[in-house]
């Protein structure tokens, strides 16, 4: 008898609750228009703008470069970021209507646009965005949102121009393998396998430990980096994440449906069968992987430089330069072209937006515009004249100490601010030059070459090259992408496309891993059944939608 | 305790316990060793319970990178102390009313309480509630939402259920009211369980950082040790879809080496694990009944 | 056995038909069956229990505000929730999200794994914690006892990221476990523990036991502190062995706590989180590692599908509440403790 009453009262509570939590942001959005307008902010009386960056880190805006920015603009930034990699920050912002002034939300920007949380910048750019206009030029279209809503909401993130002085290739091989085998030419999987086999037979052990000819890291999200990406790379497919996109027609295919990828994984399966693949490639943790690399007994990897920084440092510190790696332009066969140096153009996509509730939209915009100016670009990239760099014969030259720290001290950028405020703000990019024809960033190919370790220099010499990129087909030959890169598209969260892709990604990671580790006789059957499962989850529909997206992007950008 | 002979049982038990000690101490020693090891050398792996290249540099880096740690530490202690005391008061009181089976609302309140263990409105409604209550950036946001845990209340109540009743009866006859009985008789009898719950509450308060992030990050005075350490620890929860080479490089540059992470773990946990030994005196067998008889 | 022993067990001897606690010492009132109070008696009791009401009222209000009001968010499960609108301004979609959920094969796999690991964790977690507490209680040397107690609870403070790392390293092909097994000649080739899907549930459970036994034992130790030492004295006079004392005195004395914890934990069977499974899992064992909470994260909140995520949450709550009602009813029927 009591339970009826109980149920009734719970129900009433439930409704009451819905009402109370539901009374959301009625009282909000009282952004008093024009308040503070006309007021001049200066270094003595700075305006603090809150800036949320999804890629941000713990940092206060007080380094020398930040102070110089405040001096020039009267703006200070209060930098916020999702602590602990929290994914709920943007939804909570939307639910509560409490937005920071500036928002860098990466892919979540579409949610903010939908919720009316950020403003259109078109008019502001038109009226007072001279620096932005000069910077983006005819690339301005790449900033536009979608074909249905072709407004500009964000600016920044990637360099308008790009220079391609380095690549991690499809595989990286130990320098000692190259030396030992008399500096062979390694272009195809066949060459690559032969080289590993030969070295492995000669040296089954390195420093008393078992040699591992090829090691991958397929136990966490890095599966995508060390297993999924190389598969497309060896087939000469440009980096579009999980997609293979025909840049002329815009046709998109979920990449694991392609026969070339099957061929690659079949090869990996063979490598595993022959004992050439580290049997723990799909179970060891990142730390273990790095420690294996640091021990110098891993002959080759399929990884990116930024993922193995710690191992590289440890090897050099141990005097094992010959155990560090060189990037290889390996492909399935001579007919495939390595895309290691592909220029994806300015892809727009993510960027910094200004919130609709900000009381300082004008100032925020002026700040972003200033960040795109030549003065700002030199300041953020080079630091302060006389402190971080000198002008020698009319050219900017980084101080020796700064150059040294920049290359070796991970805290350099954080402490001095040099280079810290480049990404994700509007940036000119590597290779761009200022009004005097000087490079806008201190990075240069020369710098990269100078930084090679002794073993690297020796190997390059043997091959009669200056830089590893000389192995790769040059950027000019590969053409510029018409659609940018597929992972930059704004895809609606929770849409069918997103759900299908998530399911497909989950499936392929598991099935491909199992197929690689399985019996070679069963590989074909395993692959077939994976394709069937993909079809059953309607991957065709995802292909179609992705094709449409690509076409829309190309139409929006005028590149079709 | 009288002197007793060591039996076979005692010997086997002691050996077994030493084994348990070794096994459970290992992870902590491992962390300690890595935190005291050179960060670059750590990448080579193979550190077990002793550092290979001993250094305090990791700790220096943490303390050097953040000048708010002391203030945050004080705030952590404050919230732990206040949160534990208020939590104890609230849960014992509620537990007592629930232990009284003659209490008219016993079953209703009991049911209402237990249900809360298994339901939750989700983050957005909870956030909106806290916001509508005006608790954002207030110290109370550390205390109020965590005041009662149904689990703790039920544990205390089941302990109270086991108490001998005679005392309560005699107090009742002496004319003491319910609150006096609770305060004068029940509380002293419940010290073992109160010590346990105090530990749970303190650990819960001490380890929280998410509420600081969600509700109090706008007020610097309210920052806590766990939150500050969390900020240094790692702000990268990269999932595959977010990876592009450029931002991956940015993120990789922000990720701290393993040794730093381990040092953070040590700094974050040492203060709270010191609490337990102080509470242990309440776990001595016979304490409760001893109190009853006197 | 002595009288005291019986008194210790007194509670369980109350006839199950009445929920009034015998000997609660409230004179006449103890005979009033609480389930069917007559009007008069109810008000009379009410007025006598002012203190009790005052002692619970603030907390009942607290429960309503902090626990029940946010439940209003459950309406999201029946909407196509967009955070920019208030809860009552959303588009309603009825049971659509639940239909999606129940049509999804992954969900059933996640459910199976969750319950599998939940049951294993419950059984072994409970047994080891009680066993450890019992043994600890028997340690003679007090200082040693205290140290053991403190050290055994340390792993609880180590995050799963670190524990998973240690476990995977120990179980790797050249890890401690394989070396040990090969050294003892039990196996000839290293076992690939982490890539055997059949071992995954076991590994998760073992890691959990390792990390949490000391912590979970604390409650039982506290309960044992309440046992009258005279019971042991009496037992010794009767010549009972240490094992028999544990079995016949200690265990029965903490029975109420055990039962209550068991009921609560059964209610929580489905709430096992996802952290350990995610960190210990890999693509080879993924089919055994997918649990509901991870599914909810990846396919719900991770995709901004708050409505779908809420639907999963409601499903879990319903399962929990049904489980706890069944267990509580069962416990009452056999006269062993209660949760409410």
Which pLDDT score, from 0 to 100, does residue B184 have?
Answer: 83
* Interface pTM, i.e. ipTM: 0.85
Contacts of C101 in chain A (CB under 8 A): none
Cis previous bond, A100, omega within 30: no
A41-45, A147-151, C195-199, range with the lowest pLDDT: A41-45
Which pLDDT score, from 0 to 100, does residue C35 have?
Answer: 43
Average pLDDT over residues C74-100: 90
Question: Which domains occur in chain A, in start order?
Answer: 41-155+352-423 (3.40.190.10), 171-343+453-557 (3.40.190.10)
- What tokens were used for A143? 């900033």
Provide the percentage of residues in chain B whose pLDDT is more than 70: 84
Provide the percentage of residues in chain B whose pLDDT is more than 90: 36
- The model's pLDDT over A196-231, given as tens digits with 9 standing for 90+, comes to 999 999 999 999 899 999 999 998 888 999 999 999
Contacts of A485 in chain B (CB under 8 A): 244
State whether residue A104 sits within 8 Å of chain B by CB: no
**pLDDT at residue C11 is higher than 70:** no
- What tokens were used for A96? 């509560």
- Residue-averaged pLDDT of chain A: 88
- The model's pLDDT over B3-57, given as tens digits with 9 standing for 90+, comes to 567 788 888 899 999 999 988 898 889 999 999 998 888 878 788 889 998 999 8
Which pLDDT score, from 0 to 100, does residue C24 have?
Answer: 33
**pLDDT at residue C213 is higher than 60:** yes
**Torsion sign over Cα A225, A226, A227, A233:** positive
Q: Are B180 and B171 in contact (CB under 8 A)?
A: yes
Q: Are A76 and A7 in contact (CB under 8 A)?
A: no
- The model's pLDDT over B178-202, given as tens digits with 9 standing for 90+, comes to 888 888 888 888 888 899 999 999 9
A225-234, A243-252, A409-418, B132-141, range with the lowest pLDDT: A409-418
Residue C6: band (very low, low, confident or very high) from pLDDT cuts 50, 70, 90:
very low
Q: How far is CA C227 from the centre of its chain?
A: 23
Residue C159: band (very low, low, confident or very high) from pLDDT cuts 50, 70, 90:
confident
Which pLDDT score, from 0 to 100, does residue C337 have?
Answer: 67
**pLDDT at residue B288 is higher than 60:** no
Closest-CA residue to A130 (of A322, A372, A342): A372
**pLDDT at residue C38 is higher than 80:** no
**pLDDT at residue A74 is higher than 90:** yes
Which pLDDT score, from 0 to 100, does residue C242 have?
Answer: 84
Using CB atoms, pick whichever of A17, A287, A509 lies closest to residue C70. Answer: A17
Question: Which domains occur in chain B, in start order?
Answer: 1-55 (no CATH), 67-293 (1.10.3720.10)
Which pLDDT score, from 0 to 100, does residue A205 have?
Answer: 94
State whether residue A417 sits within 8 Å of chain C by CB: no
Residue B176: band (very low, low, confident or very high) from pLDDT cuts 50, 70, 90:
confident
Using CB atoms, pick whichever of C60, C146, C313 lies closest to residue B120. Answer: C313
Which pLDDT score, from 0 to 100, does residue A25 have?
Answer: 43
List Cβ neighbours of C172 (8 Å cut-off, separation of 6 or more).
A280, A283, A284, A288, C178, C193, C194
Angle C283-C284-C290 from CA coordinates, rounded to 5°? 60
- The model's pLDDT over A116-147, given as tens digits with 9 standing for 90+, comes to 999 999 999 999 999 999 999 888 888 898 88
Q: Which of B125, B194, B225 to mutate to test binding with chain C, by most C CBs within 10 Å of its CB?
A: B125
Higher pLDDT, A35 or B86: B86
> Which chains border C (3 or more CB–CB pairs < 8 Å)?
A, B
Contact (CB<8Å) B253/A92: no
Instruction: Measure the CA–CA gap between C276 and C289, rounded to whole angstroms.
Output: 9
A23-27, B172-176, C126-130, range with the lowest pLDDT: A23-27
Q: How far is CA B190 from the centre of its chain?
A: 20
Residue C53: band (very low, low, confident or very high) from pLDDT cuts 50, 70, 90:
confident
* Domain boundaries C97-333, corresponding CATH code: 1.10.3720.10
State whether residue C164 sits within 8 Å of chain A by CB: yes
Average pLDDT over residues A168-179: 95
Which pLDDT score, from 0 to 100, does residue C4 have?
Answer: 35
A23-37, A361-375, C8-22, C271-285, range with the lowest pLDDT: C8-22
Residue C243: band (very low, low, confident or very high) from pLDDT cuts 50, 70, 90:
confident
Average pLDDT over residues A237-253: 93
Per domain, the residue ranges of chain C are: 97-333
Contacts of B94 in chain C (CB under 8 A): 55-56, 59
- What one-character-per-residue DSSP string does B78-143 give? HHHHHHHHHHHHHHHHHHHHHH-TT-TTHHHHHHHHHHTTT----HHHHHHHHHHTT-TTSTHHHH
Average pLDDT over residues A14-35: 46
Please report how many Cα atoms fall inside a 13 Å half-sphere around the Cα of residue C295, on the Cβ side: 28
Which pLDDT score, from 0 to 100, does residue B64 have?
Answer: 81
Q: Are A76 and A46 in contact (CB under 8 A)?
A: yes
For β-strands A325-328 and A212-215, DSSP reports them as: unpaired
- What one-character-per-residue DSSP string does A118-173 give? B---HHHHHHH-HHHHHHHGGGGGGGB--SSS--B--B-SSBSS--------SEEE
Which pLDDT score, from 0 to 100, does residue A421 have?
Answer: 93
Average pLDDT over residues A464-472: 94
State whether residue A286 sits within 8 Å of chain B by CB: no
Higher pLDDT, C8 or A531: A531
Q: Are A456 and A326 in contact (CB under 8 A)?
A: yes
Contact (CB<8Å) C37/B104: yes
**pLDDT at residue C12 is higher than 50:** no
- The model's pLDDT over A336-357, given as tens digits with 9 standing for 90+, comes to 999 999 988 887 778 999 999 9
Instruction: Measure the CA–CA gap between A394 and A403, rounded to whole angstroms.
Output: 19
Which pLDDT score, from 0 to 100, does residue B44 have?
Answer: 80
Range with the largest mean pLDDT of A377-386, B254-263, C15-24? A377-386
Using the structure block, give the residue that is written with the tokens 């405040």.
Answer: A70
Q: How far is CA A458 from the centre of its chain?
A: 31
- What tokens were used for C269? 């069977």
Closest-CA residue to C312 (of C91, C101, C94, C106): C101
- What tokens were used for B239? 């999932």
Range with the largest mean pLDDT of A16-25, A258-267, C225-234? A258-267
For β-strands A298-301 and A102-104, DSSP reports them as: unpaired
A3-7, A68-72, A78-82, B207-211, range with the lowest pLDDT: A3-7
State whether residue A225 sits within 8 Å of chain B by CB: yes
Which pLDDT score, from 0 to 100, does residue B261 have?
Answer: 85
> Which chains border A (3 or more CB–CB pairs < 8 Å)?
B, C
State whether residue B95 sits within 8 Å of chain A by CB: no
For β-strands A252-254 and A243-245, DSSP reports them as: antiparallel
A332-336, C7-11, C146-150, C179-183, range with the lowest pLDDT: C7-11
Beta partners for residue B118, in sequence order? none
Q: Are A255 and A261 in contact (CB under 8 A)?
A: yes
Residue B251: band (very low, low, confident or very high) from pLDDT cuts 50, 70, 90:
low
Residue C32: band (very low, low, confident or very high) from pLDDT cuts 50, 70, 90:
very low
- Residue-averaged pLDDT of chain C: 83
Contacts of C69 in chain B (CB under 8 A): 121, 125, 129
**pLDDT at residue C174 is higher than 50:** yes
To 10 degrees, the CA torsion angle through A436, A438, A439, A445? 160
A19-28, A104-113, A381-390, range with the lowest pLDDT: A19-28
């Amino acid at each position: 008898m009591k339970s009826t009453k109980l149920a009734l009262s719970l129900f009433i509570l439930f409704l009451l609750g819905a009402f109370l939590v539901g009374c959301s942001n009625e009282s909000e959005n009282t952004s008093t228009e024009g308040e503070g307008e006309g007021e001049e902010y200066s270094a003595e009386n700075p305006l603090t703008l809150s800036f949320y960056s999804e890629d941000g880190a713990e940092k206060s805006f007080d380094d020398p470069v930040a102070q110089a920015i405040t001096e020039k603009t009267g703006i200070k930034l209060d930098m916020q970021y999702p602590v602990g990699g929290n994914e709920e920050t943007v939804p909570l912002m939307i639910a509560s209507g409490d937005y920071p002034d500036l928002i860098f939300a990466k892919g979540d920007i579409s949610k903010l646009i939908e919720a009316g949380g950020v403003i259109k910048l078109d008019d502001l750019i038109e009226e007072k965005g001279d620096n932005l206009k000069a910077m983006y030029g005819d690339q301005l279209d790449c900033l536009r949102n979608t074909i249905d809503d072709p407004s500009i909401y964000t600016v920044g993130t990637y360099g308008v121009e790009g220079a391609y002085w380095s690549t991690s290739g499809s595989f990286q091989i130990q320098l000692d393998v190259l030396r030992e085998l008399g500096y062979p030419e390694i272009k195809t999987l066949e060459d690559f396998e032969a080289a590993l086999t030969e070295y492995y037979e000669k040296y089954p052990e390195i420093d008393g430990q078992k040699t591992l000819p090829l090691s991958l890291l397929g136990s966490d999200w890095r599966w995508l980096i060390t297993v999924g990406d190389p598969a497309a790379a060896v087939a000469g497919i440009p980096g579009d994440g999980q997609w293979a996109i025909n840049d002329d027609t815009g046709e998109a295919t979920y990449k694991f449906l392609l026969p070339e990828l099957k061929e690659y994984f079949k090869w990996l399966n063979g490598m595993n069968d022959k004992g050439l693949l580290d049997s723990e490639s799909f179970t060891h943790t990142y730390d273990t992987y790095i420690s294996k690399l640091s021990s110098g007994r891993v002959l080759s990897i399929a990884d990116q430089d930024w993922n193995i920084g710690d191992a590289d440092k440890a090897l050099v510190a141990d005097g094992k330069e010959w155990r560090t790696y060189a990037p290889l332009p390996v492909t399935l066969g001579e007919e495939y072209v390595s895309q290691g140096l592909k220029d994806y153009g300015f892809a727009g996509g993510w960027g910094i937006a200004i919130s609709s509730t900000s009381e300082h939209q004008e100032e925020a915009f002026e700040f972003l515009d200033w960040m795109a100016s030549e003065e700002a670009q030199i300041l953020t990239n080079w630091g302060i004249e006389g402190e971080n760099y000198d002008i020698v014969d009319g050219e900017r030259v980084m101080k020796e100490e700064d150059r040294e720290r920049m290359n070796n001290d991970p805290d350099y950028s954080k402490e001095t601010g040099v280079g810290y405020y480049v990404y994700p703000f509007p940036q000119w990019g590597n290779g761009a030059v200022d009004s005097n024809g000087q490079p806008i960033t201190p990075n240069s190919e020369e710098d990269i070459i100078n930084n090679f370790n002794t073993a690297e220099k020796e190997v390059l010499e043997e091959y009669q090259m200056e830089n590893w990129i000389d192995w790769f087909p040059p950027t000019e030959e590969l053409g510029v992408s018409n659609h940018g890169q597929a992972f930059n598209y704004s895809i609606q969260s929770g849409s069918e496309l997103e759900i299908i892709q998530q399911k497909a990604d989950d499936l392929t990671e598991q099935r491909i891993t199992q197929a690689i580790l399985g019996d070679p006789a069963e590989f074909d059957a395993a692959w077939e059944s994976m394709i069937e499962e993909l079809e059953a989850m309607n991957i065709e529909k995802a292909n179609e939608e992705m094709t449409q997206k690509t076409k829309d992007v190309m139409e929006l950008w005028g590149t079709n | 305790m009288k002197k007793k002979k060591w039996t076979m049982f005692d010997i086997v038990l002691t050996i077994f316990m030493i084994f348990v000690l070794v096994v459970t101490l290992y992870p902590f020693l491992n962390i300690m060793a890595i935190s005291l090891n050179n960060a670059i050398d750590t990448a080579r792996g193979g550190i077990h319970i002793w550092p290979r290249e001993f250094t305090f540099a990791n700790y220096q880096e943490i303390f050097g990178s953040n000048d708010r740690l002391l203030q945050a530490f004080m705030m952590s202690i404050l919230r732990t102390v206040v949160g534990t005391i208020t939590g104890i008061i609230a849960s014992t009181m509620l537990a007592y009313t629930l232990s009284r089976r003659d209490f008219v609302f016993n079953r209703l309140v009991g049911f209402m309480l237990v249900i809360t263990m298994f339901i939750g409105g989700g983050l957005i409604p909870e956030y909106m509630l806290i916001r509508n209550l005006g608790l954002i950036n207030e110290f109370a946001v550390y205390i109020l939402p965590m005041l009662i845990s149904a689990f703790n209340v039920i544990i205390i109540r089941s302990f109270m259920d086991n108490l001998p009743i005679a005392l309560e009866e005699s107090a009742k006859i002496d004319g003491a009211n319910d609150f006096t009985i609770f305060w004068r008789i029940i509380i002293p009898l419940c010290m073992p369980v109160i010590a346990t719950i105090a530990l749970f509450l303190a650990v819960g308060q001490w380890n929280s950082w998410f509420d600081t992030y969600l509700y109090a990050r706008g007020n610097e005075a309210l920052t806590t040790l766990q939150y500050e350490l969390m900020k240094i620890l790692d702000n990268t929860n990269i999932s595959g879809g977010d990876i592009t080479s450029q931002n991956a490089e940015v993120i990789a540059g922000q990720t701290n080496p393993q040794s730093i992470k381990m040092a953070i773990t040590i700094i974050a946990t040492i203060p709270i694990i010191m609490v337990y030994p102080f509470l242990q005196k309440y776990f001595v067998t016979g304490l409760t009944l001893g109190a009853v008889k006197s | 056995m002595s009288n005291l022993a019986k008194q210790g067990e007194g509670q369980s001897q109350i006839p199950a038909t009445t929920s009034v606690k015998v000997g609660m010492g409230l004179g006449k009132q103890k005979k009033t069956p609480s389930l069917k109070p007559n009007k008069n008696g109810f008000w009379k009791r009410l007025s006598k229990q002012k203190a009790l009401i005052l002692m619970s009222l603030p907390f009942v209000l607290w429960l309503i505000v902090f626990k029940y009001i946010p439940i209003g968010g459950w309406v999201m499960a029946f909407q196509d929730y967009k955070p920019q609108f208030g809860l009552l301004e959303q588009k309603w979609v009825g049971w659509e999200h639940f239909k999606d959920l129940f049509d999804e094969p992954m969900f059933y796999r996640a459910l199976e794994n969750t319950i599998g690991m939940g049951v294993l964790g419950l059984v072994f977690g409970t047994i080891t914690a009680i066993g450890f507490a019992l043994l600890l209680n028997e340690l003679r040397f007090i200082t040693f006892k205290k140290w053991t107690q403190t050290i055994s609870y340390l792993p609880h403070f180590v995050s799963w990221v670190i524990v998973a790392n240690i476990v995977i390293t120990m179980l790797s092909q050249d890890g401690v476990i394989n070396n040990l097994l090969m050294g003892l000649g039990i196996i000839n080739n290293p076992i690939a523990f982490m890539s055997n899907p059949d071992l995954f549930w076991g590994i998760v459970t073992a890691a959990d036991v390792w990390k949490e036994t000391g912590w979970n034992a604390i409650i039982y130790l506290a309960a044992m502190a309440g046992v009258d030492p005279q019971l042991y004295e009496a037992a010794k006079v009767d010549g009972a062995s240490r094992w028999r004392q544990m079995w016949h005195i200690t265990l029965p004395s903490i029975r109420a706590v055990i039962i209550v914890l068991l009921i609560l934990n059964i209610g929580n069977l489905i709430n096992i989180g996802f952290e350990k499974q995610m960190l210990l899992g890999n693509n080879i064992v993924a089919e055994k590692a997918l649990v509901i909470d991870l599914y909810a994260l990846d396919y719900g909140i991770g995709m901004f599908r708050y409505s779908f995520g809420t639907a999963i949450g409601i499903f879990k709550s319903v399962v929990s509440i049904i489980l706890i009602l069944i267990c509580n009813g069962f416990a009452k029927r056999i006269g062993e403790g209660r949760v409410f």
